[in-house]
Amino acid sequence: MSTNFGCSCVPLYPTCSEKEGFEDLSVRFLHTADLQIGKGFGQLPSEISVVLRNARLETLKKIAVLARERRVDAVLVAGDCFDDIAVGDETLRRFKVALEPFGGTWVLLPGNHDPATAESPWSRLKRLTLPENVIVADEPIPIALGDKAMILPAPLKRRRDAADLTEWFDTAETDDHLIRIGLAHGSVREFLPEASEAANPVAMDRDIRARLDYLALGDWHGKLQVTDRTWYAGTPEPDRFRANEPGYILNVAIDAPGAKPTIEPVAVAEYRWMEQTRDIMPGGTDDVSQGLDIPAAELSRLIVRLELQGTIDLSTRAALDEALGDLRARVQYLEVDDAGLVVEPTEDDLDMIDTTGFVRTGMERLREQLNGPDAETARRALALLYGLHHQTGG
């Protein structure tokens, strides 16, 4: 079945080119996705999670300001504006406010995190009354962007859909002079790593089959080019320890139907997330802060996770704790996973606490237990004793 969605569509908002008063067939827009407003970051301490929650709204505002400054025709959000369908009213209101700096067209596509179910952030936003420039693309119906482009959305109505919802793009008829822009949220399976979602598939050659000038995709959180015309924008504000280039939006310019789009990635992220694995050697604690390779001024915007491994003595452990404490004070948040770090008290460690007396005897007994069934408790007991020794004046 094919449908002609020609110029009968009424432009929702005057484009910048019209305002300037001369004929211009090009279209410029910002492509972003996976804002996941309302994401809780519950695994982090509450004071950090509040900061990160607010950061996502701030980044959205930043995008709105950027759109205004660059005078684009529209901002396309390719799914997952919200982290969940059950975000609160306050979050919805703050989202609305964040859009305000840009008075041009916003096209918001429901994704797998915020599908257009019977009750969803979209139905609720509509009840809150959205301004006219904000379009919720919750139906697979073309949306005209002025008289220059037609946006073909593939909204998700449930979290996981086995069908390729972009298929209808192939048969959607538009006037020849219109630039065809696809807007979808899903997984280009043959292109993305295996860890990506199996549901909500998007055919890799959809841009060709549907004669799209550009296919704006969401779901993959890193900036990623699939084809000349198909891009994942990635999340503009990183939300996890994954080095796949998050933190960008794409500034897209298409001069005319069939013209190759020009893509300019623009970094907008407020915070940077970093994960590193470190091998700790006895006495080697200096490496902890040096290995980050980040300018000191930017440390405060760093969310860092260190996975420590190796076998160290008690004195190194104490020095390491000291170094980690120092680093923690410099970054926004530091998470340490030291499950792979084995502390083996050495003779020197024990000598430092006591060389004779019953304490020494006790330490020796604990050390003997390190090979027993409850070695961890004994190891911890020794570390505590070591700490106590320092606290009580060594």
Partner 1 sequence: MLFRRIAIRNFRKHLSPVVIDELGEGVTVIAGDNEEGKSTLLDAIRTGLFERHNLGGKAADTMQPFGSTVRPEVRIDFEVDGSLYSITKGFIQKASARLTTPAGTFEGAAAEERLAELLTFRLSQRGESKPDDRGILGLFWLEQGRVLDGLGLGETGRSTLRGSLEDEVGNVLGGTRGRKLLEAARAQRDALLTSTGRPRGDLSAANDEAEKATARVSELEAERAEYDQEIDHLTQVRRDLAQISHDRVLEKAEEALSKAESEARSIALLNQRHEAAEQAVALTKAQLDNATDHSDRRQALIQAVEGRERDLIDKRDAHTRLSDEASPIADRQQAAEIEMMAKTEARETAETRVVVAQGRSRIESLDKQIAELHRKISEIEKLASQRKADQDRIAQIVIDQRGYEKLQTLESDIRAAKAALGAVATRVRFAPTGGQRVKRNGMELTTGDTVQVTDRSHFELDGFGEIDIEPGTSELADRRARLKKAEDALDKGLTGVGMADIAAAKIQLEQRTSLDAQVKEAKRLIDALAPEGAEALATVLGEQKAERSRLSDTTSALMLADTADPETESRVLTAAKDAEKEARAALDLAQKEHQEHVIQLTVAVTALEAAAEAVTTAKADLQKARDDASDAELTTKLESAKDALTKAQNTHAESTKRLNAANPEEVELRRERAQSTLATVDAERRQLREEQIGLQSRLTALGKNGISELLEEARGRETRTLARRDRLQRDAAAWNRLVSTLVDAERDAKEAFLEPVLKRVDPFLRLLFPDARVTLNEETLEITGVVRGGCEEPYPLLSIGTREQLSILVRLAFAVYLREKGFPAAVILDDALVYADDDRFERMQLALRKAAETVQVLILTCRPRDWREFGAPIRRLGDGKTKKFGPLQ
| CB closer to partner 1, 125 vs 254 | 125
Per-position x/- string for 124-153, each x denoting binding to partner 1 as judged by CB under 8 A, each - no binding: x--x--------------------------
Least separation in angstroms between residue 368's CB and partner 1 is: 10
> Among candidates 126, 55, 68, 76, which has minimal Cα distance to 96?
126
Residue 155 CB burial class (10 angstroms; 0-12, 13-18, ≥19): buried
Among 126, 242, 365, 390, binds partner 1 (CB under 8 A): 365
Beta bridge partners of 152: 182
Q: Is 380 a binder of partner 1 (CB under 8 A)?
A: yes
- 290: tokens are 């040096």
Least separation in angstroms between residue 96's CB and partner 1 is: 15
Least separation in angstroms between residue 158's CB and partner 1 is: 9
Q: Is 198 a binder of partner 1 (CB under 8 A)?
A: no
Among 3, 4, 14, 45, binds partner 1 (CB under 8 A): 45
Residue type, 233: A
Asked if 370 contacts 344 with a C-beta cutoff of 8 angstroms, the reply is: yes
Q: Is 160 a binder of partner 1 (CB under 8 A)?
A: no
Beta bridge partners of 339: none
Number of residues forming the site for partner 1 (CB under 8 A): 51
Among 89, 322, 326, 347, binds partner 1 (CB under 8 A): 89
| CB closer to partner 1, 9 vs 55 | 55
Binding footprint of partner 1 on the chain (CB under 8 A): 38-46, 49, 83-91, 117-120, 124, 127, 353-354, 356-362, 365-366, 369, 374, 376-378, 380-385, 388-389, 391-392
